[in-house]
Amino acid sequence: MNYLIYGAGNGPFQIAPAFSDSNGTDSSYSDTFDEQIARGFITDFIYELLREENVKITPVVEPIKRMKRDILAGQFKPWITYGFRGWEAMPGWEGFHFLPQNLFEYTLSQVYYGDFVKPASTFSEFKDCRVILIRGFSYQMVVEKLQEHGALVVYADNFAQALRMLKYGRAEIFLGFDKRVKYVLQEMGLADDPFHLSPFMHGQLKGYATLMMSDDIPQPMVDRLTDRVQAMIDSGRWQALWDRY
């Protein structure tokens, strides 16, 4: 079973400290779950979820934009990873297995540095602001609305690059998920720097993440994993894994 990891900078959900560009596989991962190894919430969750299936897990690491393209091209089957509810309605994604449980809510935050700008509460307040977005991530209607109201959209390849751009004045606002922002700031040693987070549009723009699998995985296995996910949520095991990060 291929486990798809969206790039080397996807902590705290998927932490890939080392991987090979030659074949995309990550040799630093073992096939067993270890409480002492921080590999990311989603990784821990999937490894534990598959423990009873007696399958070999092969991590595959690619940047999210390329990974989504390769998924649609039919590569890496059979695979498991996580995805967002918004993907279910996108052309080409309807055949994949999206599990019914939402694993976490994805609420965009606006991140700014120092006292350079105040948090915006309407799109019109972004006029003439340089706003950083992550390349390859689906912001849906946000990009169009920002540009419509006179914002200059610039892109970063990952959260670390976006936060550096913000710190050194190359933009005024970065839109990202607060849990990942806080994790990356810790990893960069910048947790005490004056970065500030505020819910984007009062937290109205939300998304939900769930597990997803390739369309060649048999329905009985999908049903077993669905039941196991619910059991892990009900028992508190999901929350325990989430709280590790």
Q: Are residues 78 and 127 in the same domain?
A: no
Pair 118, 164 in one domain: yes
**Residues of the domain holding 166:** 106-203
pLDDT (mean) for 33-40: 56
pLDDT in tens, 188-206: 999 999 999 988 876 667 7
For position 25, what pLDDT does the model report?
Answer: 39
Is the same domain home to 99 and 116?
Answer: no
Same domain, 161 and 88: no
Predicted local confidence at residue 136, as pLDDT: 76
CATH number, domain of 162, equals: 3.40.190.10
Which pLDDT score is estimated for 118?
66
Considering the domain architecture, whether residues 129 and 58 belong to the same structural domain is answered as no
Same domain, 15 and 79: yes
- Provide the number of structural domains found in the chain: 2
Residue 177 has pLDDT above 70, yes or no: yes
Task: Note the pLDDT of residue 28.
Answer: 42
Tell whether 112 and 95 lie within a shared domain.
Answer: no
What is the reported pTM? Answer: 0.79
Shared domain for 167 and 199, answered yes or no, is: yes
Instruction: Report the alpha-carbon distance of residue 37 to residue 241 in Å, rounded.
Output: 12
230 and 216 within one domain = yes
81 and 154 in one domain? no
% of the chain residues with pLDDT over 70: 87
**88, 179: one domain:** no
157 and 228 housed in the same domain? no
Residue 20 has pLDDT above 70, yes or no: no
pLDDT at position 160: 92
* Confidence tier at 135 by pLDDT (50, 70, 90): confident
Share the mean pLDDT of the chain.
Answer: 86
